[in-house]
């Protein structure tokens, strides 16, 4: 029996943030975060309590024309299902390292929060050969094969579609995740001192508490407040991109319009999107 499952059964310094280019800043206060919010999973729980029905992540792929809007409740459901897949089917344990070879995408955002929830260290753009598990998009499958642990592949097709033919040696996320439970509880509680994030180029690993502190600092730097709408075209393999594309809006009780291939969008169409989505802040364009 998994040792963490056995335990469950028996129980029955703000860090500096590199500046993000922001086109418009609306002053405001961070009203969505309480002093007791000290882990990334708690940020999501706070957002659920505040307003589970409001949009949290709106995703655009400007090569395929895809648009997906996830309410806080729907996003949390994807996070729970992914965390259950990670903990139960993939056998991930607290402290395991997950190489995340994915672009900025709504499914990537779910994986980031799922790993944080399960106590797994997220390594965006990390070396698969040094990871316990790897999650890959369709363009990085060969690199991902260097991982000797569990491998998961995402087709990144519209509406979360599966691969027409699953890649050899990989689990297809779109096939495996729907049957997972809609609620998640880690076998061992994940506290603010648990390792959580390994960024490219950083020697150390950020704890969950440090991730929250950085998210709050980024939210302040961006001028986010409750109800803000931040449009981000940044990738997830830097702190700036991860903060703008997920963590800072979450910390501020705001929301994100996450855009992949934003450079393919003409300026006039971008202006129409900003208006249609009621964007208040932008990063990465």
Residue 180, domain CATH: 3.40.50.12780
The answer to the question of residue 274 being in a domain is yes
Tokens of 13: 């310094």
User: Which residues 6+ apart lie within 8 Å of 55 measured at CB?
Assistant: 69, 70, 71, 72, 255
On whether residue 67 sits in a domain, the answer given is yes
- Rounded distance, CA 16 to CA 19, Å? 9
Residue whose tokens read 């028996």:
10
Residues of the chain with confidence (pLDDT) below 50:
1-35
Q: Pairing state of beta strands 55-61 and 66-71?
A: antiparallel
Is 95 contained in some domain?
yes
Angle at 233 between CA 70 and CA 220, to 5 degrees: 80
pLDDT value of position 11: 33
| The predicted structure's pLDDT at residue 285 | 62
On whether residue 16 sits in a domain, the answer given is no
Q: Model-level pTM?
A: 0.88
Domain count for the chain: 1
Structural domain boundaries, residue 62: 22-283
**What pLDDT sits at residue 36?**
52
- Give domain status of residue 9, yes or no: no
pLDDT of residue 206: 98
Buried b (16+ CB within 10 A) or exposed e, 36-73: ebbbbbbbbebbbeebeeebbbbbbbbeeebebbbbbe
In a domain, 4, yes or no: no
Sheet with 255-260, edge to edge strand ranges: 66-71, 55-61, 255-260, 229-232, 281-283
Q: What is the pLDDT of residue 83?
A: 98
Does residue 13 lie in a domain region?
no
Is 14 contained in some domain? no
Number of residues in the chain: 285
């Amino acid at each position: 029996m998994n040792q963490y499952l056995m335990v469950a059964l028996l129980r029955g310094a703000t860090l500096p943030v590199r500046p993000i280019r922001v086109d418009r800043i609306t002053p405001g206060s961070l009203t969505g975060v309480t002093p007791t919010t000290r882990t990334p999973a708690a940020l999501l729980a706070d957002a659920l309590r505040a307003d589970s029905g409001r949009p949290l992540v709106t995703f655009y792929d400007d090569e395929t024309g895809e648009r997906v809007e996830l309410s806080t409740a729907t996003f949390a459901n994807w996070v729970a299902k992914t965390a259950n897949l990670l903990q139960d089917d993939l056998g991930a344990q607290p402290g395991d390292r997950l190489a995340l070879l994915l672009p900025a995408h709504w499914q990537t955002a779910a994986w980031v929060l799922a790993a944080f929830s399960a106590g797994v260290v997220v390594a965006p753009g990390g070396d698969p050969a040094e990871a316990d598990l790897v999650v890959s998009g369709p363009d990085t499958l060969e690199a991902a094969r260097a991982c000797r642990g569990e491998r998961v592949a995402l087709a990144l097709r519209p509406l979360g579609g599966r691969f027409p033919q699953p890649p050899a040696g990989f689990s297809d996320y779109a096939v495996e995740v729907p049957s997972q439970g809609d609620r998640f509880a880690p076998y061992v509680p994940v506290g603010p001192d648990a390792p959580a994030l390994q960024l490219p180029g950083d020697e150390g690993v950020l704890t969950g508490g440090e991730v929250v502190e950085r998210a709050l600092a980024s939210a302040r730097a961006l001028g986010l407040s409750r109800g803000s709408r931040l449009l981000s075209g940044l990738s997830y393999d830097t702190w700036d991109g991860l903060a703008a594309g997920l963590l800072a809006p979450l910390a501020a009780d705001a929301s994100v319009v996450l855009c992949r291939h934003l450079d393919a969008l003409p300026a006039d169409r971008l202006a129409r999107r900003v208006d249609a989505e009621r964007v208040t802040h932008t990063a990465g364009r």
